[in-house]
């Protein structure tokens, strides 16, 4: 039950992080805002950790979602956290080195994470322009 609750918290964090991209938080007088840049960094960090936790929870409950060099991961818990966060980061930031690959349901989660990673900058730019238009 504990792993399931952690997975639910991770999903809620992803949803609220994405929602915050569209909510006008603060209107500055300048087009470029350090506040908005900081907000985007926090959103990326939250989404990265939440997806990493999702991979970790699935691995810990016995559902293999990641492979390294074609083999199911066989590492202890701390290394599993590292591997899951690393894979989440390279998937979200669209680097995708190929050393760790998703399998099974992990493929679908990776697709969703990659789509989120691609749309976040577009949403950020759109939000910035919408706020700029409101001020004028």
Tens of pLDDT, residues 5-18:
887 888 888 888 77
Q: In what order do the strands lie in the sheet with 100-102?
A: 71-72, 66-68, 100-102
For the chain, list the domains and their CATH numbers. Answer: 2-17+34-135 (1.10.287.70)
pTM summary value: 0.81
Token readout for 13 is 């964090």
Residue 94, SS3?
A: coil
pLDDT, tens only, 121-136: 887 777 777 776 766 6
Strands (E), the chain: 66-68, 71-72, 100-102
pLDDT, tens only, 25-58: 555 555 567 777 788 888 888 899 999 999 999 9
pLDDT category of residue 104 using cuts at 50, 70 and 90:
very high
């Amino acid at each position: 039950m504990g792993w399931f609750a952690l997975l639910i918290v991770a999903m809620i964090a992803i949803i609220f992080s994405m929602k915050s991209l569209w909510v006008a938080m603060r209107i500055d007088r300048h087009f470029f805002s350090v506040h908005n840049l900081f907000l985007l960094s926090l959103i990326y960090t939250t989404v990265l950790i939440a997806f990493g936790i999702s991979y970790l929870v699935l691995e810990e409950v016995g559902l293999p979602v990641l492979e390294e060099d074609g083999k199911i991961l066989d590492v202890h818990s701390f290394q599993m956290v590292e591997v899951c966060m690393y894979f989440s980061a390279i998937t979200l930031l669209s680097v995708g080195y190929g050393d760790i690959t998703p399998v099974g349901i992990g493929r679908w989660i990776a697709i969703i994470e990659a789509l989120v990673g691609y749309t976040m900058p577009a949403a950020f730019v759109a939000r910035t322009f919408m706020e700029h238009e409101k001020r004028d």
